[in-house]
Amino acid sequence: MTSNETLSAWVDEVARLTRPDSVHWCDGSETENRSMVNLMLESGDLLELNQETHPGCYLHRSDPSDVARVEHLTFVCTSDPETAGPNNHWMDPAEARAKMSALFDGCMEGRTMYVIPYCMGPIDSPLSRCGVEITDSPYVVANMRMMTRMGAPALARIEREGGFVRGLHSTGDLDPERRFIMHFPEDLEIQSFGSGYGGNALLGKKCHALRIASYQARTEGWLAEHMLIVGIENPQGEVRYIAAAFPSACGKTNLAMLIPPESYPGWKVWTVGDDICWMRVGEDGRLWAINPEAGFFGVAPGTSKDTNPNALAMLNRDAIFTNVAVTADNQPWWEGKDDQAPVKDWKGQDFDPANGPAAHPNSRFTVPISHCPSYSDQAEAAQGVPISAIVFGGRRESLVPLVMESKSWRHGVLLGASMASETTAAATGAVGNVRRDPMAMKPFAGYNFGDYWSHWLSFAERADKLPRIFHVNWFRKDADGRFMWPGFGENMRVIDWILRRCEGTADVRETAIGNLPLPGDVRLDGIDTPPETLQALLEVDQGAWAAELEQIAAYLQEYGDHSPPALAEELRNVSASLGASQ
């Protein structure tokens, strides 16, 4: 089925191990997709939603124990544990391979084995990389078709170029005790068993485009990041691009397709990507970025005509919904959507509020990015888009200001490395605990964070027109637990300040922790946020920051010799200047 001998030998080897009834090479065609959907409708893996209101839309109800990424079962298997670092769970590659081979042994008996060639990034871009996922899940095939450039063109590129990332996946028996997501970055290989959930099973996404790609990016001198990419067009028609990293379920999709508020007439926002960004230094010394994905795998709850009208508009055709609720007339529903009411919850039971939310808090939609009303005409550009600003952000109820700018690239890397956020439903485990999540990559960096920060720092020598680095926090709460900043489309006001900083048309108040906007420089016209609230959002609480800096220092030290001395020095400078300003 392919002229690439390595690929055909590997497919044969996997078939011998897993013993499927048949092997199907995916071509990515419409006909193939139709037969995949029909197969899943017959097996009950997909349910038809209301085809009048939502043509081409289907519902998938996952096993109730398989609804999120499983970080405690996700491993980076490198020959030396130091390479994986304290930020990853490590397993010896030989031990991991033996464990996985035992699980994969005969696991596809009675099933079809699908071979999915895919390309991460525009099919003709030199920044893109290919992979092949072997899976026994038609749900994975249908999702990979939306999330990547999948099928014949990807196989042709693999045959032209030779190399590809190998991903082997089986849903197994969905037993949480027999579930592992293993990465072998030294061999550009992924093995995932026992889960059908997106982040565990759509191997092009987190496993390839972040964990394996970040490892590759370090050796090859580029960056693979957990970032959205968005273009902001001003009324003069000039577009500037921003890449922004936020932890899972902190509003990346909303920011990527924000609609500017009425106080910003003539401004437009163009979506390039909502989750992953690969960046390289261009010949002009700027960072150029592509979105390796071709679709959105977005969090449904909270998506509404107020929070994200663009997302809602793209979700009424050709989308797969996973673990949402349904209304009496069989439309998809989730908490926060609108005034319709759910009748069946995400498990398919009659909705009873006593059983918890109707839609699972991590219920998702999968939809091609080209359906988005704000889809950028540069999303397929082979060279990518030039990045003017990098924005880091976390979910912090207190302390961290609405926005600040780093004083230098090195200080910006420190801002990214010291990011922290309250945990969300995107991963299994307790929700709402503050944890350090450097560059929003805690679950996704495929190697030691200490080396990853050194890699980030090295860009100061690699490029002379680097983007400016900012940190934002949309999630501050007042004493009564209410959000202090309106968020969503109104975040445009902060983006506006960021862009004015990039143009050199706004000034700053220099503080120990970073450069903050001057009062009046974040526009409040058209919203009812009082200037005092903005002032509170831009205050620097010296005592609380001193405690935060100590925690950051302790955190950086956890990476021992791998932690770059330059970052510790930068932190000492911040502490000294905070002390001096007290």
Task: Choose the contact partner of 386 out of Mn ion, ligand OXD, none; CB within 5 to 8 A by kind.
Answer: none
Whose CB is nearest to Mn ion? 275
311 binds ligand OXD (CB under 6 A): no
Measured CA to CA, the distance from residue 432 to residue 68 in angstroms comes to 16
Question: Helix, strand, or coil here: 198?
Answer: helix
| DSSP code for 454 | H
Which residue bears the tokens 């001395």? 565
Q: 248 or 454: whose CB is closer to ligand OXD?
A: 248
Binding mask 261-280 for ligand OXD (x = CB under 6 A): --------------x-----
294 binds ligand OXD (CB under 6 A): no
Measured CA to CA, the distance from residue 300 to residue 367 in angstroms comes to 12
199 binds ligand OXD (CB under 6 A): yes
Q: 18 or 248: whose CB is closer to ligand OXD?
A: 248
Please state, as a whole number, how many other Cβ atoms lie within 10 Å of the Cβ of residue 347.
Answer: 16
Query: Please, what is the minimum distance in Å from the beta carbon of residue 566 to Mn ion?
Result: 28
Q: What distances in angstroms separate CA 541 from CA 435, 535, 552, one per listed residue?
A: 20, 12, 16
Question: Do residues 433 and 422 lie in contact, with contact meaning Cβ atoms separated by under 8 Å?
Answer: yes
Considering the candidates 57, 77, 119, 250, report the single residue annotated as catalytic.
Answer: 250
Q: What's the chain's length in residues?
A: 582
Query: Please, what is the minimum distance in Å from the beta carbon of residue 249 to ligand OXD?
Result: 7
Measured CA to CA, the distance from residue 31 to residue 156 in angstroms comes to 19
Residue of the chain from 91, 426, 445, 534 that contacts ligand OXD (CB under 6 A): 426
Q: 307 or 406: whose CB is closer to ligand OXD?
A: 307
Angle at 498 between CA 493 and CA 503, to 5 degrees: 120
Six-digit token string for 354? 């006593």
Q: 275 or 490: whose CB is closer to Mn ion?
A: 275
Task: Choose the contact partner of 351 out of Mn ion, ligand OXD, none; CB within 5 to 8 A by kind.
Answer: none
- Cα 127 from chain centre: 18
Task: Choose the contact partner of 297 out of Mn ion, ligand OXD, none; CB within 5 to 8 A by kind.
Answer: ligand OXD
At 129, which helix (H) or strand (E)?
A: strand 129-135
Give strand pairing partners of 58: 48, 320
What are the two backbone dihedrals, phi and then psi, of residue 468, each rounded to the nearest 5 degrees?
-75, 155
Size of the residue set binding ligand OXD (CB under 6 A):
7
Task: Choose the contact partner of 446 out of Mn ion, ligand OXD, none; CB within 5 to 8 A by kind.
Answer: none
Task: Choose the contact partner of 515 out of ligand OXD, Mn ion, none; CB within 5 to 8 A by kind.
Answer: none
Task: Choose the contact partner of 302 out of Mn ion, ligand OXD, none; CB within 5 to 8 A by kind.
Answer: none
Restricting to residues 456-515, which ones interact with ligand OXD according to CB under 6 A? none
Respond yes or no: is residue 250 known to be catalytic: yes
Which residues have C-beta within 8 Å of that of residue 203, sequence separation ≥ 6?
131, 133, 135, 167, 169, 190, 192
Query: Please, what is the minimum distance in Å from the beta carbon of residue 544 to Mn ion?
Result: 29
Q: 139 or 297: whose CB is closer to ligand OXD?
A: 297
Pairing of strands 22-25, 287-290: unpaired
Q: 121 or 261: whose CB is closer to ligand OXD?
A: 121
Measured CA to CA, the distance from residue 546 to residue 512 in angstroms comes to 10
Residue of the chain from 215, 297, 333, 334 that contacts ligand OXD (CB under 6 A): 297
Task: Choose the contact partner of 267 out of Mn ion, ligand OXD, none; CB within 5 to 8 A by kind.
Answer: none
Give strand pairing partners of 119: 130, 149
Question: Helix, strand, or coil here: 494?
Answer: helix
Measured CA to CA, the distance from residue 403 to residue 209 in angstroms comes to 28
Q: 362 or 515: whose CB is closer to ligand OXD?
A: 362
69 binds ligand OXD (CB under 6 A): yes
Whose CB is nearest to ligand OXD? 248
Residues that bind Mn ion in the complex, under the rule CB under 5 A: 248, 275
In the complex, the residues that contact ligand OXD under the rule CB under 6 A are: 69, 198-199, 248, 275, 297, 426
Give catalytic residues, as residue numbers.
250
